[in-house]
Amino acid sequence: MRPSGRDLSDMRAVSIETGVTKHAEGSCMIRIGDTHVLCTATIEDRVPPFIKGSGLGWVTAEYGMLPRATNTRMRREAASGKQGGRTVEIQRLIGRALRAGVDRVALGERQITVDCDVIQADGGTRCASITGGWVALRLAVNKLMKAGDVLSDPLVDPVAAVSCGIYAGQPVLDLDYPEDSEAGVDGNFIMTGSGKLIEVQMSAEGSVFSRDQMGQLMDLAEKGVTELVAAQQAATA
């Protein structure tokens, strides 16, 4: 029934390749099916003005798409002179999600910026960015700990995200682009490795959904995030 032939509760193939750029303090290429996102983490000593002198750290994120990551070429945001509403919304989401798993006291007064750049898109880029972004963050923090700059681990729980939706009347896990563009209801669940919720975003476009369906989607999300956290652990072990 799904265009890809997957079962309703099947994720696409997941791979996480670390150490893909020589400059960044942490980096990975995450591939969820044909969605490929390059994630890098940059450590800087400065923090945003609103926490200067507080002793607390900060984690933030930026998101971008190469112009031809998609089926038809999109206009380059740098050329159009601003980041679109969708981009801003996504990068705020990634930052919030990653911060939920960070002990900012333990991190100390420094900032880690996670850049998520979509090299190839096939649905689910924001979830892939969060999941891969956490891996880049993990690797950068490992470097801080190895250097003795950070003493107790500020990453209290892994963070991963997966999309779910109602496609052709059925709840499905991890929508690819053909499903995403047809689904009346879809959204993202961001969770921790220990099964807690960080963010739930379910949205209907020209449709509505019931509380029962909401429950079924959460069941799927829990399954998906469990698999993603296992892949994160394998990649950073």
Minimum Å gap between C-beta 139 and a copy of itself is 13
Residue numbers 139-178 binding a copy of itself by CB under 8 A = 157
Is residue 165 classed as helix, strand or coil in its secondary structure?
Answer: strand
Taking the CA atoms of the chain, what radius of gyration do you get in angstroms?
18
Residue from 2, 6, 10, 104 in contact with a copy of itself (CB under 8 A): 104
Binding residues for phosphate: 86, 124-126
Contact 163, 202 (CB under 8 A): no
Nearest Cα to Cα of residue 216 among 176, 189, 196 = 189
Residue from 6, 9, 15, 96 in contact with a copy of itself (CB under 8 A): 96
Binding of a copy of itself by 38 (CB under 8 A): yes
Contact 11, 227 (CB under 8 A): yes
Q: Name which of 64 and 150 has its Cβ closer to a copy of itself.
A: 64
Question: Which x/- pattern over 44-73 shows residues binding a copy of itself (rule: CB under 8 A)?
Answer: x-----------------x-x-xxxxxx-x
Is residue 102 classed as helix, strand or coil in its secondary structure?
Answer: strand
Phi, psi of 68 (to 5 degrees): -105, 30
Residue from 9, 15, 18, 83 in contact with a copy of itself (CB under 8 A): 83
CA dihedral 229, 156, 19, 60 (to 10 degrees): 110
Binding of a copy of itself by 201 (CB under 8 A): yes
Minimum Å gap between C-beta 121 and a copy of itself is 8
Q: Name which of 12 and 99 has its Cβ closer to a copy of itself.
A: 99
**10: DSSP letter:** P
- Regarding beta strands 26-32 and 35-44, do their DSSP bridges make them parallel or antiparallel, or are they unpaired? antiparallel
Residue from 49, 53, 82, 146 in contact with a copy of itself (CB under 8 A): 82
Minimum Å gap between C-beta 196 and a copy of itself is 4
Q: Please tell me the distance from the alpha carbon of residue 17 to that of residue 79, in angstroms, as a whole number.
A: 30
Length of the chain equals: 237
Locate tokens 């880029």: which residue? 125
Binding of a copy of itself by 85 (CB under 8 A): yes
Contact 89, 38 (CB under 8 A): no
Residue from 1, 8, 52, 196 in contact with a copy of itself (CB under 8 A): 196
- The residues that touch a copy of itself, with contacts defined as CB under 8 A, are 21-24, 27, 34, 38, 40, 42, 44, 62, 64, 66-71, 73, 76-79, 81-83, 85, 87-89, 92, 96, 99-100, 104, 113, 115, 117, 119-120, 157, 187, 192, 196-211, 214, 218
